[in-house]
Structure 1
Amino acid sequence: SYGELSSMYPKAGGQYVYLKEAYNPMMGFLYGWSFFAVIQTATIAAVAVAFSRYTSYLIPSVGENNILLSIGSSESPFTISAAQVLGILLIIFLTYSNTKGIKGGKLIQTTFTSAKLISLFGLIIFGFLLVKDNFWDANWATGFNAVSYKPDSPSGGGSGWESISGTVLIGAIAASMVGSIFSSDAWNNVTFIAGEVRNPQRNIGLSLFLGTLIVTIIYVSANLMYLYVLPLDGIAFAQNDRVAISAAQKIFAEAGAIIIAIMIMVSTFGCNNGLILAGARVYYTMAKDGLFFKKTSELNKHAVPEYALWIQCAVASLLCLSGSYGNLLDMISFVVVLFYALTIGGIFILRKKRPDLPRPYKAFAYPVLPIIYIILAIVFCVFLIKLKPLYAGIGLGIVLLGVPLYYLAASKNKTHVTD
């Protein structure tokens, strides 16, 4: 579906452009505003916090338990930890490096992505080759049973695992999807910099397909390796949710923890560089349309929207202080999936609204697959509001706050006001 949209509108801005063209400028603005306030900036913050969490495995003094500042009541104080400060420093450093031109950012991205891929493939291969005492058969014996852990469960022989079904099962699936949606969300970031890609009508769609395929293969292979190396309880209750470290310790003994910590530091460093590099192009495009801060439409001597990068840096740094890693994921995932559903819905609108536009790519299995996706996305959003009302509600509130902000911005540029 994104291949069709990117081939129709091969210019910087990505999803912002697709929503603006399919619906109206306000819908595009709502996405761009949400992208600025939640989606991209909170993702940058969450990845920076993840970098800090794994750095703290090697350097405990920069961990979340090292509280540098505590303000407010002893029951619920506002705290700033060393991990949050390290995350902010990472964001500032990568933002600065990207203000020096796209070549430097591309070099960092290529280097760290290559290191990440080599490390991941190495971990997966060694996991299957070196571990003899594996849990493959035991895990798959009950692998398709839907269960939830309840310490006081009377069933399951005292194991704490209890069968679930119906809406409880759907809710559990929705909750478990939060992490996977977040981990794969940057798959479409190449569309944000389409204006800087050679032959974008061909290469953007190809990049989306190959990138998604490669990442899917890696993620599925890594999870199969976890099922081979660790028991289900070891996966479900890995210390601080560090499943990769638990697996690496089983593969490489104590040295494994250090290996995987370094791998994830490399991975999150490179990931955040890509997020920072791509994100500012959306604000740049919005500013060109008169719907964002005017200075974000300016390029510096390196042909980079420097002001857009720094304003993104400021918001992402503030979000590093806003809450835990899990809370950021809940907030991001709701807003991301909401706009994905709207964007996929835009294909139906554009097929009727702009049938004349060239479409080098067309959505696969249209209209069945897009409809299925939209339905599943709506179900996910509904259950996330039910299960995580606070942070999903904050995410929705930020989106709706964009409505008055749009009219405020558009009042200075009457051509963007629509009924």
Structure 2
Amino acid sequence: MEKHSSSGAQFQRSLRLIDGVMLVSGVMIGSGIFIVSAEIARTVGGVGYLLLVWVLSGVMTIIGALSYGELSGMFPHAGGQYVYLREALHPLIGFLYGWAFFLVIETGTIAAVAVAFAKYTAYLLPQVGEDYIIWQIGGFAVNRAQLLAIAMILFLTYVNTRGIRTGKWIQLIFTLAKILALLLLVILGLWIGFQAQVWQANWQQAWHAFQVVFQNGQTIQQPSSGILLIGLTGVAMVGALFSSDAWNSVTFIAAEIKKPEKNIGRSMFLGTLLVTIVYLLCNVMYVGVLSMHEIATAPADRVASAAAVHFLGTWGAGMIAAMIMISTFGCNNGLVLSGARVYYTMANDRLFFSPAGKLNEKGVPATALWLQGIWASLLCISGKYSDLLNYVIFVVLIFYVLTIVGIIRLRKTRPDLHRPYRAVGYPYLPVLYIAMAICICISLLWLRPDYTWPGLIIVLIGIPMYYAFIRRQKSSSVSSQS
């Protein structure tokens, strides 16, 4: 049963299937699709491998969504993945996820998306750019772009404290706008900007695998094959996967979804399928307009801008900037809305600050929202959110693996649980997901070790915090009994 807030307020089940799909799609589409293909091209080389990375990442995301559907049916409560890990494995595992979620995963993503919004706003309005320093002490400085990013976070936090309905409508409007804008970009690119010679040249070298490295101001191609190519493909998938991340956000608001046993799983499947198709179409457009060299060396990795300039002229970059502003605003609304429900549930488990476990008169966890917004704002000012997100990529994948392992474990340990939805292709697809994710983790350990151990340290620091909360629980119980 869903726990009621200590304030007496309750979550309202007011979100329909379409709202869930818009949340999933909206939080998945941020700024990644506009830039990530450059890094993928530099890592794997040919267009065949570029598209393969996006296909594999899309398939992996859809499999994850189909698998999570079973857990969402069994535990249709606020908190989503935190609840699944708590129930399937151990409360400590659930806490470590929630700890990293608050410290970096969700708040760091909110900060990064907000700063991306500010940077692209500055393209259209230079007065709010990073060059305008407001305050500086030594090497630490606060600029207008950071203040705009913080203003965005606090505004969306305030809006979502006023009830789920306002946040729902923002999500619906902005998600539809950015999906339509992306499809329009694809149509214009393939209709106006398509270059047959470029397309043919790209496909002639489709399976030529190489890394692009920069030395002395020049780009050098280093061929790759065999085990190295497999490892590099895994590394390249990280960018595509995290351009599609946060698809599980709808599980966090399960207590506010109508018919959650069915609609959460459906929302994840339909949302991930929609975004996967849109992402593939975007990349097909890129390789029809730009050579692989132009994709790999796009200025500041802005592949979409480079493509748009080809067929829309100088104002094409402005159009892309406006699209990214729309995209990041809608993305952050979904992240702000959903993330606070995890801290709410943790607080009710007495594993987070107790005020976060209360709902306001609008039926939303306002304190949890403000704690999340304030910490994300501090990350904006610190400028360290990007490093932190790189560090936790590894552990986020591990938590995904552990969650899907939880499906298998619950089938064995709690077979009597009501399962209104069962994971499609069980056990083969869940096992395939686990195998793919482990391969990516091994690739990161081998080729990008700096992205692995710092994230593990961040998570492991949560272990003494967990036992501190447990000791506090025991002390409170003893005090209440005496």
Instruction: Specify the alignment match of 2:98 in structure 1.
Output: 32
Contact 1:181 1:333 in 2 (8 A): no
**Equivalent position amino acid for 2:178 in 1:** K
Give secondary structure in 2 for the equivalent of 1:150.
strand
Cα deviation code 1:265-308 (max 9, x no counterpart): 00000000000000000111111111111100111111111110
Say if 2:205 is the partner of 1:142.
yes
Shift of 1:324: 6.1
Instruction: Specify the alignment match of 1:92 in structure 2.
Output: 154
Give secondary structure in 2 for the equivalent of 1:359.
coil
Contact 1:127 1:251 in 2 (8 A): yes
Say if 2:215 is the partner of 1:215.
no
Say if 2:123 is the partner of 1:60.
no
The gaps in structure 1 that reach 5 residues or longer are: none
The percentage of aligned residue pairs carrying the same residue is 54
Q: Partners of 1:143 and 1:79 in 2: how far apart?
A: 45
Shift of 1:328: 4.4
Superposition RMSD in Å: 2.2
Instruction: Specify the alignment match of 1:197 in structure 2.
Output: 257
Give secondary structure in 1 for the equivalent of 2:142.
strand
Give secondary structure in 1 for the equivalent of 2:248.
helix
Give secondary structure in 2 for the equivalent of 1:169.
helix
Residue 395 of structure 1 is aligned with which of 455, 461, 468?
A: 455
Q: Partners of 1:175 and 1:400 in 2: how far apart?
A: 24
Alignment length, in residue pairs?
A: 409
**Equivalent position amino acid for 1:88 in 2:** I
* 1:19-418 correspondence runs (5 A): 19-72=85-138, 77-134=139-196, 135-151=198-214, 160-323=220-383, 326-414=386-474
The gaps in structure 2 that reach 5 residues or longer are: 1-66, 477-482
Contact 1:128 1:228 in 2 (8 A): yes
**Equivalent position amino acid for 1:144 in 2:** W
Change (3 A) 1:325 1:145: farther
Change (3 A) 1:389 1:143: same
Shift of 1:151: 4.5
Contact 1:42 1:319 in 2 (8 A): yes
Q: Partners of 2:215 and 2:375 in 1: how far apart?
A: 42
Give secondary structure in 1 for the equivalent of 2:247.
helix
**Equivalent position amino acid for 1:347 in 2:** I
Shift of 1:337: 0.8
**Equivalent position amino acid for 1:115 in 2:** A
Contact 1:43 1:332 in 2 (8 A): no
Give secondary structure in 1 for the equivalent of 2:420.
coil
Shift of 1:393: 2.8
Change (3 A) 1:274 1:265: same
Q: Partners of 2:392 and 2:115 in 1: how far apart?
A: 14
**Equivalent position amino acid for 2:186 in 1:** I
Cα deviation code 1:89-110 (max 9, x no counterpart): 1111111111111111111111
Contact 1:283 1:292 in 2 (8 A): yes
Q: Partners of 1:149 and 1:143 in 2: how far apart?
A: 15
Change (3 A) 1:142 1:63: farther
Q: Partners of 1:29 and 1:127 in 2: how far apart?
A: 46
Shift of 1:255: 1.8
Q: Partners of 1:141 and 1:159 in 2: how far apart?
A: 21
Contact 2:109 2:385 in 1 (8 A): no
Shift of 1:242: 1.2
Q: Partners of 2:121 and 2:214 in 1: how far apart?
A: 32
**Equivalent position amino acid for 2:168 in 1:** K
Q: Partners of 1:233 and 1:61 in 2: how far apart?
A: 33
